[in-house]
Structure 1
Amino acid sequence: MAIKEMRPLHANRHLRVVCIGAGASGIMLAYKLKQHFTDFTLHVFEKNSDVGGTWFENRYPGCRCDMPAHNYVYSFEGKPDWSASYAGAPEIYQYFSDFVEKYDLKQFIHCNREVHHAEWDEIASEWVVKVLNISSGFSREIRCDFLVNAGGILNNWKWPDIPGLNDFHGDLIHTAAWDDRLDVTGKRVGLIGSGSSGVQILPWLQENAAHVTAYIRSPGWIIPTHDGEYRDFSDDDIARFKADPAHHLATRKKVEQEWGGEFAVFHRESVAQQTIREQLSAEIRKTLNDDRLADKMVPQFAFGCRRGTPGPGYMEALVQPNVTVEFGGIRDVTPTSVISETGTVTELDVLICATGFDTTFRPRFPIVGRRGNLADFWKTEPRNYCSVAVSGYPNYFMFLGPNCTISNGPVLFAIEVEAEYMAKFFNRWQKEGVAYFDPKQDAQDDFMEHKNLFMETLSVWGDNCPSWYKDRVTKKVTAVWPGSHLHFMETLSTPRFDDYDIRYHNRNRFAYLGNGFSQIELNPHADIAYYVRSADPGDFVSRSTMSTFNAKDAGEKLHGKITLTV
C-alpha cells in the first residue's frame, strides 16, 4: 500500500453481519450494533412473521416464563408494568416487540425470511448465505463478514416417537404448535409429557376438559407454589413500580440476588443440594397428600439434573377426580386410544404432546465451514469453544450455543454478554484489517475437556437422570455451562484472542497503523489532552477503540488550514 493511500489508525472497514433469528438474541445484537458501531450493514433474518422467537411461537394455555418477570428483561430495560410475577407468553412477546419499536431496530429485521444454506468462502474470507423469502418463494444470496446464529434452542419442536401416533383420528396437537381453535370442553384428553409445557398446561386442561389422562414417563422436580410468589400484580403495585424507579430497581436486584446467588445447589455433594431435595420432597408430599402418588412423583435424582419447573396448580391438578396419572411409557396409539406400556387402554378425543424440542444443537440447514456441514460435524457431540464459537468455522458465532447458561441463571443477561463478546471481535475486525477469527483446535479441546470433567465430577447435571441437557447416546452434558451465570459472564468479559487463529487481509499485520494519525486527534469534539489529570481516578490512561466516531482519512489535518502555537 502506498503511503498516500494509508488511512488513520483504526479507520473502519465496512462490516457486514448476517444474523439468523429475531428472538431475544437477534434483537440484542441489533441493539448493540446500532448503539456502538458505524460503517456496518446488519441483516437479521427471521423465519416467522414477527419478532420474539419462542415467545411468538409458543402460545399454549398457561405458557409462561419460569423465571420471575422482573428479571426476564435486558439488564438496562426493566419493565415496571408486568401484570404478574411470572409473565405469560403474550406479554413477554410484547416486551420484545416494544423494545424493537423503541430503539428503531426494525430497519435491520427481515421477517418471513428463512436461511437455508450458509458456506464459508475461503478465498474471500466471507460467508455466502442463501435466504428464502417465504412469502414469494424466491431465494437470494448475500455475502457477509460474520455469520451469527441466534436461532435459539427451543424452536424446533418434534413429535414423540410413538408407534401409531399419526393414526390417531381425534385432535392431535403439539404444545409448540398450538391451535387456538381447539376446544376441550367435555372431551377426554391425553397429555403426553411432564416437562415445562406439560406442567404449565395441565391445570388449564383439568379445569376445562371432562377428563385428563396425564402420561408421565419420568417426573422432574416441581417447585411448589408459595404464598405470594406466583401472583398478579395489583394496580397499586404497578403504579409504585412506575412512580418509584429506585423501588423498581431494588425489587429487580433483590430477586436477582435470591435467584443468582444459589449456584452451590448445582454442586452435587453440597449442603445446599441436600437441603433443597429434602425441602422439595416434603413440599411435594404435603401438596399431593397421597403417599402412593408422591412416591412416584418425587424424583430419585439430584435437583437441577433436569430443569426444575415452577408448577402453580400442577400438583393440585394431579389429584383432582377428573385426572388420571399413568406412569411409564406409551406402547402404542390407535385411531381412538392410547395404550400404555402396562397395557392400559384409554379412549381419547384429544391427544396433546408436550414433548419438547430437538435439542441436539445441530443446525436444521447446512452451515458449511472448513470441517464440512456443521450438522455432520456435531453428529456425535456438539464440540464448541466456550459456547459461542466452533473451531473450523471462521467468523461464526452463536447465541445460546451448546453448553450455554440455559440452566444457570437469567438467560437474557447471558445473551447481552454474548452480544458484547461478539462486538469486540467485530470492532477488532473493522479497525485492524482482520480477515477472520477461528478458534484453535487445541483451545476448543481444552475447553471441552474441562467442561466434561466438571460435569462428571462436580455438577448435578452429570447425575443419572433423563434430561435434554444431555446427549441421548453419549450421556455427556451438552446444554449447560460449567459454572454459574456470573462465572460465564466473567469468562466472556475479555476475549482470549490468543485462543483464536487470526488472519489479516494485508500480509503485514500492522498495516492498520496507517498514516500515523490517531482517531482522537481527528475527532473535532474530542479532548486530545484527556490524559492530563489532577489525580489518578483509577482507570487506565489508554482509550478503547470502541467509538461511534471514525475518520477514514486525515485530509483536514494534512491539507486544511491550521494554526500552530509556538
Structure 2
Amino acid sequence: MANYVSPESIKAGARDTSQRLDNPIHNERQIRVICIGAGASGLLVAYKLQKHFTNYSLTVYEKNEAVAGTWFENRYPGCACDVPSHNYTWSFEPNLSWSAVYPPSNEIFDYFEGFARKYCLHQYVKVRHQVVGAAWDHVNGGYTVQVQDLATGKITTDHCDMLVNAGGVLNHWKWPAIPGLDKYKGVLLHTANWDESVSLEGKVVGLIGNGSSGIQVLPAIRDKCKKVTTFIREPTWVSPVQGMEQHKYTPEERRAFAEKPGALLDYRKNIESGLNGQFGIFLKENRVNIDTHAYMKQQMKEKLNNAFLEEKLIPDWSVGCRRLTPGVDYLESLTKPNVQVVYGEILEVTEKGCLCDDGNEYPVDVLICATGFDTSFRPRFPVVSPSGENLQDKWAKVPESYLGIGVAGFPNYFCMLGPNCPIGNGPVLSAIEAQCDWMLKIMDRFQSTNMARIAPKEEAVRDFVEFKEWFMKRTVWSDPCRSWYKPGPDGPVVALWPGSTLHYIEAMSHVRFDDFDITYAGNRFAFLGNGYSQTELDPTADWAYYIRERDDDAPLSTGGRRKLISKTGTVTTRDVVVFSGNKEEAERVKAETSAKL
C-alpha cells in the first residue's frame, strides 16, 4: 500500500517537500546515510555512493581502529580466505599482488585497505566509534543513531535518512559453551581475538574446533609446538574442490598477469565460471554433488591413511551441508607424531586443560578456541521501528528478511548480508555488489522523489520465506548436520540464499517496488516539480538526445537484458548440470563414479 499525506499538508519537517515544487523533475534532494561497519560491505557502500551520487552525506562508523572488518580482526596463525584470491576481489578491482590461490589474511587486509586508500574512502569513516542503538525518528523521519566513542566512552547522537547495517555475519566472536572455561589457569586464546604476544614455541597446545579457523590454525602451529591436542566433536568435509587446490604463483605467472593483455581477466573469469558451475554440489541427487562426494571422500582417505581417523572424520551427510573449506595441509597434520586427535565431547574445562567424555583429562599450556561467531543475525544493539518494535526481539528466534537485505516494518533500513543471502552459495563479493546496487536504486528513488518511508511488506517477506523453505528441502543444507547456516541440525536454513550466486545477481537486478510499503511526504507527484526537465536547465546537455539515426535502445525485456549482460552466444562448449530430481539417474551416476574409483 502506498500512503501519502494530502498536498495541503506539505510543510517543512516533511523533508521540505514544498521546495520540490519549485524545482525541476527528479530534483536530487540531499540524502543523509549512516553505514555501520567499514568492512568489505561498508567500504563498497562508500565507494558506490561516491561514484554514483551527488548531494549526499555519509558517515561510516567502525568500532575497530582500521577498516577491513574481519580481515583486520583475524590474525591467528594460518588465517586465510577459503575463496581463490583473484576472485575474492570486487569484480571491477583486480589485484596483481596475490601470492597464492589462498593467501594469508594480511594480504586480504592490504587489498581492502588499499581499496579504501585508492578511492579516498577513509574520509567517510570514523574509526573507534561503535553504534550502540538506533531508533526511528517520528519528527524528522529516518533514524536517530547513538554512537559511542570508544576512546572516551562518550555517547553522542547522529541522524540519517537511510541506515545501512554492514556489521557483518562472521564478526561477533564467541567462547564455547563449555563449563569451567573461567577456571582454566593456562593461556586462553580465541582465534578471532588473537594475542600476538603469546609464544607457542615448545608448548603443549589444545585446539578446540574443526571449523574453518581450526582447520587453518593446526597446520600453521604444529611445527612450533611440542604437542598439539586437537579436540574434535564431529566430522566435516575437508578438501579443496577439484581445480581449486592451493598454488603459489610463480614470478612468471605474476608477470603475465601484469603485462599480458587479458591474461588476468581470462584467469579470473575461468575461476569464477568454475565457482558458479559448482552450485550443483548443494543440490540433492545431483551429479555434481555425487561426483564431488566421491572425489572428496577419496582425497580424505588418501591424506589421512588412518582407519580410525577415516571412520571418525569423514561424514555420512552430504558434501556442502556445512561450509566447504580447502583445508590446506590440515588432514596431513592430523597424522603427525606431535598431533593427538581426541574425538568426542569436552565435558568441562579444568584448571589444567580439558576433561573429555572418554574419561581422560588432557593438560595443555595454551588452549585455543577456534569456536567461531554468533551467527544468529540478531543485531548487537537495539534497532527500533516506527511501531516501537526492536529488531533484536523480532529476530530473537528465527531471523526473516526480504531477499537478505530488507526487514518488514523497518523502513529505510538495510542489512548487508542479512538472513538468506548468498554467503555460502558461491562467490560472495559478487553478491555484495548486487546487494549494494539494489540498495542504491532505492536510495535514488528516495532522493529524486518525496518518498519518506520504504519497507518490505510483511506479506512479501512471508512469501519469500515460504519459497525459501520449499527450495531448501531440495538442498543438502537441510541435511541433519550441525552448521552455522541454521540454528540446529534440523532447524531452518537461515543463512543461505535459495539458489546460486548468479541466481541472486539476477533476482537483485531490479527492485520490485510492488513488494514495498511506501509513504510519501505530501502528494506523491510533487517530484514533477515546476514543469521543467533538468536537461533543459543544463546548458551543456543535448536537448534532443532522443533523436537518433538508428534504434540503439538497450533491451526492454528481462530476457533481453540478461542475454546482453551475460554475453549469450560467446561460450560455445560447456557441460551444464542442473537439478533433475531423478533418483534413478542419481543412483546410476553413483554406481559409475564408484566403479571409476
The TM tier, using the shorter chain, reads: over 0.9
Give the residue type in structure 2 aligned to 1:334. T
Count, aligned residues = 540
Are 1:35 and 2:41 counterparts? no
Q: Which aligned pairs between 1:324-343 and structure 2 lie closer than 5 A? A: 324-343=340-359
- Give the one of 360, 385, 393 matched to 1:376: 393
Give the TM-score normalised by the residue count of structure 2: 0.88
| Deviation (angstroms), 1:347 | 1.4
CA contact (8 A) 2:74 2:194 kept: yes
Work out the CA distance in 2 between the residues paired with 1:518 and 1:75.
35
Look up the SS of the partner of 2:223 in the other structure. Answer: helix
Q: Which aligned pairs between 1:155-554 and structure 2 lie closer than 5 A? A: 155-224=171-240, 229-369=245-385, 370=387, 372-455=389-472, 457-472=473-488, 475-506=491-522, 508-539=523-554
CA contact (8 A) 2:163 2:414 kept: yes
Q: Which aligned pairs between 1:51-66 and structure 2 lie closer than 5 A? A: 51-66=67-82
- Give the one of 107, 111, 123 matched to 1:91: 107
Aligned to 1:114: 130
CA contact (8 A) 2:333 2:339 kept: yes
Distance 1:20 1:533, change over 3 A: same
| Deviation (angstroms), 1:3 | 9.9
Work out the CA distance in 2 between the residues paired with 1:186 and 1:19.
45
Work out the CA distance in 1 between the residues paired with 2:191 and 2:122.
29
Gaps of 5+ in 2: 1-9, 11-17, 557-597
CA contact (8 A) 1:81 1:242 kept: no
Are 1:11 and 2:32 counterparts? no
Aligned to 2:161: 145
Distance 1:214 1:441, change over 3 A: same
Work out the CA distance in 1 between the residues paired with 2:265 and 2:489.
45
Work out the CA distance in 1 between the residues paired with 2:328 and 2:182.
32
Work out the CA distance in 2 between the residues paired with 1:183 and 1:3.
65
CA contact (8 A) 1:18 1:147 kept: yes
Work out the CA distance in 1 between the residues paired with 2:274 and 2:34.
37
CA contact (8 A) 2:189 2:368 kept: yes
Aligned to 1:556: none
Superposed CA offset, 1:466-505 (max 9, x none) = 0010013871111000000011111111010110001111
Look up the SS of the partner of 2:536 in the other structure. Answer: helix
Look up the SS of the partner of 1:501 in the other structure. Answer: strand
Give the residue type in structure 2 aligned to 1:450. F
Work out the CA distance in 1 between the residues paired with 2:248 and 2:136.
50
CA contact (8 A) 2:479 2:489 kept: no
Distance 1:389 1:371, change over 3 A: farther
Distance 1:130 1:197, change over 3 A: same
CA contact (8 A) 1:371 1:392 kept: no
Give the residue type in structure 1 aligned to 2:502. L
Distance 1:303 1:540, change over 3 A: closer
CA contact (8 A) 1:359 1:468 kept: yes
CA contact (8 A) 1:241 1:248 kept: yes
| Deviation (angstroms), 1:538 | 3.7
CA contact (8 A) 2:482 2:489 kept: no
Give the CA RMSD over aligned residues. Answer: 1.7
Look up the SS of the partner of 2:222 in the other structure. Answer: helix
Work out the CA distance in 2 between the residues paired with 1:374 and 1:437.
16
CA contact (8 A) 2:241 2:292 kept: no
Give the residue type in structure 2 aligned to 1:28. L
Distance 1:509 1:237, change over 3 A: same
Give percent identity, aligned residues only. Answer: 46
CA contact (8 A) 1:225 1:311 kept: no
Work out the CA distance in 2 between the residues paired with 1:86 and 1:527.
50
Of residues 233-242 and 410-419 in structure 1, the stretch that sits farther from structure 2 once superposed is 233-242
Work out the CA distance in 2 between the residues paired with 1:4 and 1:12.
9
Distance 1:32 1:313, change over 3 A: same
Work out the CA distance in 2 between the residues paired with 1:69 and 1:435.
41
Distance 1:237 1:4, change over 3 A: closer
Work out the CA distance in 1 between the residues paired with 2:442 and 2:198.
48
Work out the CA distance in 2 between the residues paired with 1:491 and 1:84.
33
| Deviation (angstroms), 1:537 | 1.7
Work out the CA distance in 2 between the residues paired with 1:225 and 1:265.
10
Work out the CA distance in 1 between the residues paired with 2:515 and 2:244.
48
Look up the SS of the partner of 1:190 in the other structure. Answer: strand
Work out the CA distance in 2 between the residues paired with 1:540 and 1:533.
16
| Deviation (angstroms), 1:344 | 1.7
CA contact (8 A) 2:479 2:490 kept: no
Superposed CA offset, 1:424-461 (max 9, x none) = 01100011110010110100100011111111x21111
Distance 1:498 1:371, change over 3 A: farther
CA contact (8 A) 1:371 1:393 kept: no
Of residues 268-277 and 15-24 in structure 1, the stretch that sits farther from structure 2 once superposed is 268-277
| Deviation (angstroms), 1:231 | 2.2
Look up the SS of the partner of 2:548 in the other structure. Answer: coil
Superposed CA offset, 1:65-102 (max 9, x none) = 00000000000000012111112111101111111111
Look up the SS of the partner of 1:130 in the other structure. Answer: strand
Work out the CA distance in 2 between the residues paired with 1:515 and 1:412.
42
Work out the CA distance in 1 between the residues paired with 2:490 and 2:235.
22
Work out the CA distance in 2 between the residues paired with 1:112 and 1:193.
30
Work out the CA distance in 2 between the residues paired with 1:186 and 1:317.
17
Superposed CA offset, 1:240-262 (max 9, x none) = 21112410100000110111112
CA contact (8 A) 1:391 1:444 kept: yes
Aligned to 1:555: none
Gaps of 5+ in 1: 542-566
Work out the CA distance in 2 between the residues paired with 1:248 and 1:241.
5
Work out the CA distance in 2 between the residues paired with 1:399 and 1:154.
12
CA contact (8 A) 2:207 2:367 kept: yes
